[in-house]
Amino acid sequence: MPSPQPTPDDLFTCLRCGDCCRGYGGTFVSRADMEAIAAFIHADPRTFAAHYCRRSGGKSVLAQRADGYCIFWDRVCTIHPVKPRMCRRWPFIESILVDPANWLAMAGSCPGMRTGIPLREVRACVATVLASEGPDEDR
Ligand code: SF4
Ligand code: SF4
């Protein structure tokens, strides 16, 4: 009998270390993310991107401080209720469906992600999570 598919809790527990809020190519933000964050911090949505974002690979990402941390990191995520979709979904993101080996690459920087589980099972779990969340609201 095949083993049951792992659950999200089997694959990931956030340790709140903040490592994912530093470095990388930046945290992608959609227009919807920017509008939500601007409202949350009472910033002018027309100038939000100029003050809090930068461009990377043709996309808007959250700006980082000189120490490499996200501009909204201060020992905790200061915009937690409206943090970008990419942060909310981590590590159950589309790139795992494209190539499940991305799970291992991401786990190298995120101590909350479990390895040692067959990647086809990881991919199936990620697919289930994404399907349960409905259509992508990015725009
Ligand atoms: S690196 Fe992983 S474990 Fe650490 S805060 Fe980010 S998601 Fe959580
Ligand atoms: S928005 Fe919050 S969770 Fe996302 S990278 Fe910035 S500080 Fe971390």
**Average pLDDT rounded to a whole number, residues 107-115:** 94
Q: Which atom of ligand 2 is nearest to the CA of 83?
A: 1
pTM as predicted: 0.80
- Measure 138 CA to ligand 2 centroid, in angstroms: 17
More confident residue, 113 or 16: 113
Tell me, in angstroms, the distance from the centre of ligand 1 to residue 110's CA: 5
CB-based burial label for 110 (10 Å; 0-12, 13-18, 19+):
middle
pLDDT of residue 16: 87
Question: Which residues sit with their C-beta closer than 6 Å to ligand 2?
Answer: 21, 27, 62, 70, 72-73, 77, 79, 83-84, 87
Length of the chain: 139
pLDDT digits (tens, 9 = 90+) for 15-69: 989 888 987 667 889 999 999 999 999 999 999 999 999 998 888 999 999 999 9
Residue of minimum CA distance from atom 2 in ligand 1: 110
Mean pLDDT along residues 81-87:
92
